[in-house]
Amino acid sequence: MEHRAVDFDEFAIRAALGGLPLGGLRVLSTIGSTNDEALAWAAEGGADLSVVIADEQTAGRGRLGRTWRTPRGTAIAVSVILRGPSDPLPHYSRLAGLGAMAVADACRSMGLQASIKWPNDILVEGRKLAGVLVESAWTGAALEAAVIGIGINVLEASGPPPESVRYPATSMETSLGRPPIRAEVLRELLSALITWRTKLDSDEFIAAWEKRLAWRGRQVALLRDGQPPVRGKLSGLAPDGSLKILHEGRLLEVSMGELQLLATDDGSH
């Protein structure tokens, strides 16, 4: 895959990530999408915990076919290859939570209180700070590896123009009142991801993801393509990371969709 070689603080990034047990590291000045680069690398045999970081994305992708902006010098765009010891990759359905928890922990270490809008949007002060996109690399019918792509708005200039967003956005700089150093955020992020990855199969993992969920106990609607919305009380997570919604006395488990807080929710639990 074509890409221009590094010019963005590669030295600082490599120094900050030194000591982490990464499978490999590519630091790029600009790329279409770090997820595409990581998927191509995985297909060529890229090792577990190989990481692609770019200063700028020109064709960044979000969930549900949306675009994701990563203007040069303002944000974190990173993708991590995960490869299981066996095929299929265990606990695939928990990987969205893994990325989201890593961001939430990185936020906390920078002094920001974050929550996770299920499945994998990270909110700070009720606004979206980061998103996670999990994709798979296949060889024929076999799942080769998964890629967790994470985009974080670090500086104010990284956010999308307000008129183009579906959900209000924020950045670390906006909430902290100062610009954090991207290399430091990356270190916290990847170190949290590596730690939680070792607990991916544990009950502790689901409990921690659940604890960080936004809108627990609140009235929400889950929107799904081509299906009627599910409305009810956000109750928690099932072991596979599905969302539990209490709807007319029945606990429903849903694995896909987009959450909204219902306007009728009065905030009391």
Binding site for ligand BTN (CB under 6 A): 33-35, 57, 60-63, 66, 68, 70, 77-79, 121, 131-133, 149-151
Rg (CA), the chain: 18
Distance of closest approach, residue 251 Cβ to ligand BTN, in angstroms: 27
Distance of closest approach, residue 65 Cβ to ligand BTN, in angstroms: 9
Closer to ligand BTN by Cβ: residue 112 or 116: 116
Which of 210, 214, 209 shows the shortest CA–CA distance to 261? 214
Closer to ligand BTN by Cβ: residue 130 or 200: 130
56 in Cβ contact with 30 (< 8 Å): yes
Q: Which tokens go with 224?
A: 């799904």
Distance of closest approach, residue 100 Cβ to ligand BTN, in angstroms: 10
Give alpha helix (H) positions in 126-229: 172-176, 182-197, 203-211
Closer to ligand BTN by Cβ: residue 74 or 79: 79
Distance of closest approach, residue 120 Cβ to ligand BTN, in angstroms: 7
Closer to ligand BTN by Cβ: residue 73 or 217: 73
Distance of closest approach, residue 147 Cβ to ligand BTN, in angstroms: 8
Q: Are strands 127-139 and 121-124 parallel, antiparallel or unpaired?
A: antiparallel
Name the residue with the smallest CB distance to ligand BTN: 131
The span from the CA of 10 to the CA of 45, in Å, is 24
Which of 131, 104, 112, 110 shows the shortest CA–CA distance to 120? 131
Q: Residue 227 is inside which H or E element, if any?
A: strand 227-237
> Which residues face 24 on adjacent strands?
50
Closer to ligand BTN by Cβ: residue 124 or 232: 124
